[in-house]
């Protein structure tokens, strides 16, 4: 394959681009933060001065930026991908954005015969580093087939979920379930603690039953250690649930529990925990109940 372009070298983009280099891909990168570019250049990439310049030299371009407006700017804005890309170029947006925006961007690119996939990821920074992300893709089957070998350098599970926008709808579904799982765990462990039962024993007792989940196994130990160091930040989960609410309203689906989870996350942000792990949801419940969940006698 020719050179791969990579735009957006943040918390996720940086390790993902390094995994492409490790897999032997020739990489041309761009980010608005020069230090991030230098770090990835140090790992073997070449630098470009703009998104347009990346697209001029690469027929396969990955975008990994924070939210919908950033994708629009990087792809459709001045100095963006659309200004440099040749017809037939494949643009893979791995950002987590509003699916409506994915479709809008894809439609604009299609006018210039530029192909587009939305391919948001789940797994946070740890899985970005070890190359085991879950990647949810929307777009045409031939484009997916072409992108698959490249995506395999960054992810362990890669699924074509449907047409353009389906990747981001799937990501939003994922984020709803994760947020509500953490909230349910928090309610339960705060109840157990205030009722005088050891929350660690409650976790051990329920994790193998129907209430058990990947979320519970990841987040209950953090809660018991009172650890809110971020794997996935509150601010990012707010962004995702904002997009979920917008998508729900757009297609006529009320999301009452998602709205509740979003407001809990907003309360944490106001309380100065925007950069904490989303498992900090338990702190919201602790404040209401005036109790702290923690291991006993450790």
> Which CATH number is 201's domain given?
1.10.1040.10
- pLDDT given at position 285: 98
In this structure, the answer to whether residues 113 and 260 fall within a common structural domain is no
In this structure, the answer to whether residues 30 and 138 fall within a common structural domain is yes
Burial class of residue 141, CB neighbours in 10 A (0-12, 13-18, 19+): exposed
Q: Which two tokens stand for residue 234?
A: 């509150």
Q: Which two tokens stand for residue 128?
A: 């970005």
In this structure, the answer to whether residues 178 and 274 fall within a common structural domain is yes
Residue 251, in any domain of the structure: yes
Which of 111, 134, 163 is at the close of a domain?
Answer: 163
Q: Could you tell me the residue range of the domain that residue 195 belongs to?
A: 170-289
Distance of CA 129 to the CA centre of its chain: 13
Higher confidence at residue 18 or residue 125?
18
Nearest to 154, CA basis, from 3, 275, 23, 288: 23
Asked if residue 55 lies in contact with residue 89, where contact means CB atoms within 8 angstroms, the answer is: yes
Residues annotated as catalytic (active site), given as ranges: 171
> What is the tens place of the pLDDT at every residue in 50-65?
999 999 999 999 999 9
Cα 280 to Cα 8: distance, rounded to the nearest angstrom? 27
> What is the tens place of the pLDDT at every residue in 264-275?
999 999 999 999
Residue 61, in any domain of the structure: yes
Which of 112, 141, 163 is at the close of a domain?
Answer: 163
> Which CATH number is 88's domain given?
3.40.50.720
In this structure, the answer to whether residues 41 and 99 fall within a common structural domain is yes
177 C-beta neighbours (distance < 10 Å), count: 14
- pLDDT given at position 109: 98
- pLDDT given at position 2: 72
In this structure, the answer to whether residues 150 and 223 fall within a common structural domain is no
Spell out the SS3 assignment of the chain: CCCEEEECCCCCHHHHHHHHHHCCCCEEEECCCHHHHHHHHHCCCEECCCHHHHHHHCCEEEECCCCHHHHHHHHHCCCCHHHHCCCCCEEEECCCCCHHHHHHHHHHHHHCCCEEEECCEECHHHHHHHCCEEEEEECCHHHHHHHHHHHCCCEEEEEEEECCCHHHHHHHHHHHHHHHHHHHHHHHHHHHHHCCCCHHHHHHHHCCCCCCCHHHHHHHHHHHCCCCCCCCEHHHHHHHHHHHHHHHHHHCCCCHHHHHHHHHHHHHHHHHHCCCEHHHHHHHHHHHHCCCCCCCCC
Q: Which two tokens stand for residue 229?
A: 């160091």
210-215 contact pairs (CB < 8 A, 24+): 213/181, 215/177, 215/178, 215/181, 215/182, 215/185
In this structure, the answer to whether residues 23 and 91 fall within a common structural domain is yes
What total number of domains does the chain contain?
2
Averaged confidence pLDDT in the chain: 97
pLDDT at 191 over 70: yes
- pLDDT given at position 228: 97
Residue 296, in any domain of the structure: no
Q: Which residues of 102-120 are buried (b: 16+ CB within 10 A; e: fewer)?
A: bbbbbeebeeeebbbbbbb
pTM of the model: 0.94
The residue-averaged pLDDT of 73-83 equals: 98
In this structure, the answer to whether residues 148 and 267 fall within a common structural domain is no
Burial class of residue 88, CB neighbours in 10 A (0-12, 13-18, 19+): exposed
> What is the tens place of the pLDDT at every residue in 238-262?
999 999 999 999 999 999 999 999 9
pLDDT band at 75 (very low <50, low <70, confident <90, very high): very high
In this structure, the answer to whether residues 89 and 174 fall within a common structural domain is no
- pLDDT given at position 19: 98
In this structure, the answer to whether residues 139 and 194 fall within a common structural domain is no
In this structure, the answer to whether residues 117 and 75 fall within a common structural domain is yes
The residue-averaged pLDDT of 165-183 equals: 98
> What is the tens place of the pLDDT at every residue in 219-233?
999 999 999 999 899
Sign of the alpha-carbon torsion through 65, 149, 2, 91 = negative
pLDDT at 298 over 80: no
Instruction: Express as a percent the part of the chain with pLDDT over 70.
Output: 99
The residue-averaged pLDDT of 110-114 equals: 98
- pLDDT given at position 190: 98
Which of 163, 197, 215 is at the close of a domain?
Answer: 163
pLDDT band at 82 (very low <50, low <70, confident <90, very high): very high
The residue-averaged pLDDT of 157-167 equals: 98
> What is the tens place of the pLDDT at every residue in 21-33?
999 999 999 999 9
């Amino acid at each position: 394959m020719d050179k791969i372009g990579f735009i957006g070298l943040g918390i996720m983009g940086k390790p993902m681009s390094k995994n492409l280099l490790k897999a032997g891909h020739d990489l041309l990168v761009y980010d608005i933060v020069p230090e991030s570019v230098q770090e990835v250049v140090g790992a073997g990439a070449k630098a470009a001065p703009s998104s347009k310049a990346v697209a001029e030299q690469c027929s396969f371009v990955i975008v990994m930026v924070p939210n919908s407006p950033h994708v629009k700017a990087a792809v459709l804005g001045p100095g963006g991908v659309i200004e440099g890309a040749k017809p037939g170029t494949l643009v893979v947006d791995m950002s987590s954005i509003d699916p409506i925006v994915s479709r809008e961007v894809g439609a604009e690119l299609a006018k210039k015969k530029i192909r587009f996939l939305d391919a948001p990821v789940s797994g946070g920074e740890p899985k970005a580093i070890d190359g085991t992300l879950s990647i949810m893709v929307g777009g045409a089957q031939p484009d997916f087939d072409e992108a698959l070998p490249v995506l395999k350098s960054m992810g362990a599970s890669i699924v074509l979920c449907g047409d353009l926008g389906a990747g981001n709808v799937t990501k939003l579904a994922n984020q709803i379930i994760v947020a509500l799982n953490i909230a349910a765990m928090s309610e339960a462990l705060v109840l157990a603690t205030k009722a005088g039962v050891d929350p660690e024993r409650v976790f051990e007792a329920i994790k193998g039953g129907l209430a058990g989940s990947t979320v519970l196994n990841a987040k209950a130990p953090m809660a018991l250690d009172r650890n809110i160091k971020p794997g996935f930040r509150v601010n990012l989960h707010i962004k995702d649930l904002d997009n979920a609410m917008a998508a729900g309203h757009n297609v006529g689906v009320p999301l009452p529990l998602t709205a509740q989870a979003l407001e809990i996350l907003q309360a944490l942000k106001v309380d100065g925990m925007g950069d904490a792990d989303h498992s900090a949801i338990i702190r919201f419940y602790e404040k209401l109940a005036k109790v702290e969940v923690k291991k006993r006698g450790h």
